[in-house]
Amino acid sequence: MKRNVRVSIIGGSGYAGGELLRILLFHPDVTIHQVTSRQFVGEQVSRAHPNLRRVTSLTFCRMEDLVPCDVLFIALPNGVSMGYMHDVMLKAKYVIDLGADFRLKDQNIFDRWYHAGHQAPSLLPRFVSGLAELHRKELSKARLVACAGCEATVSILTLYPLVKHGLIRGDQIIIDAKMSSSQGGNTPGLASHHPERHGVVRSYRPTDHRHSAEIEQELSLYDKSIRVSVSATTIEMVRGLLVTIHTVPRGEITEKDLWQVYREEYQNEPFVRIIKEREGIYRYPEPKLLTGTNYCDIGFA
C-alpha cells in the first residue's frame, strides 16, 4: 500500500470510531480525509471526542457527502453497515468494517446468531477476518476486511496455538469473559446508567453469546471438533476485557510445552505478549495496563 494513505471513517462519533480516529491521526503514513456522523454534522470532531481538541480541525460530514479515498473504515452499530455496503465499497479500494455484519462467512449461521436476515449475503465470502496473526497472507491481498469482535479476538488469539498444535480437546472449551461498559457503545441506556452500573457484577450473557460462532469459525480451520461455551459478565470497568478460558488437555502438557507453542506463533507478532511472571501483582494479564494500546496480553496457568 502506498504512503500517505487517504482514509475516511463512517461513524466516527462513537467509541470505536473515536479510538480509530485517535490512532490514525498520529500515524505517519495516513491522512484523514473525511469522518461522518449523523448527530454532529458540520461540527468539529472534538465535539464528540474532547481528547482531540487542537489535535485536528476536521469536521463531521454526512455519509452522502463522502468522496473517493484509499481506505474506508466503517464503525457503525451492528446490523447497519450491511445495508450500505454495496454502495460505500465503491468509494474506496479497501474497506474495513469494525462491526459484526461481515464476520461470519455462512449466512445461515449469521441469521441464527443475530436473529435477522443478512442484507448483503453475496458479500459474506468476500470478507477476510482482520486478525493478522491468523490471516496475514490473505489480508495482504484482501479488499474487504471484517474486524474481529472483542471477546472473539482475545479468545481466538489465546486458543489458536493450543488448537493448532493439538494440545487441547476442541469440544470442551469454556470461556469466561469479564466485560467493560464501553463495549456497549455510547448510546445511553438503563444498563449503562451510572446508578445501575456502579459496583455491578452482572451476568450479561451466561449462554449463547454471539461471539461463540466467530470463535468456532476461526478455530475450526485447525480442529473441526471445536465447540465453545461463552459466558459474559459485565463488571465495573470502563475499558478493556479479561477472558479466562478453561480447556482440557489431550495428554500431559508441561509449562515448557505451552511456552514453546506460544513462542512459535507469537514471537514475531508486535502486538501479542505472553505474560507469566513468577511474583508480583501483575503475574497475569491486567486490562488496566492495556488501555489505549494495541496489545493483547496472554497468560496461562
Amino acid letter for position 139 = L
Measure Cα distances from 27 to 36, 229, 264, 290 in Å: 20, 38, 29, 19
Q: Which of 61, 69, 150, 296 is catalytic?
A: 150
Residue 227's φ and ψ, nearest 5 degrees, are -140, 130
296 tagged catalytic: no
- Residue among 177, 149, 173, 151 nearest 162 (CA): 173
For residue 283, count other CB atoms closer than 10 A to its CB: 13
- Cα–Cα dist 31/19, whole Å: 16
Cα distance between the two ends of the chain: 41
Amino acid letter for position 200 = V
Task: Give the cell for residue 73.
Answer: 473504515
Residues with a catalytic annotation lie at 150
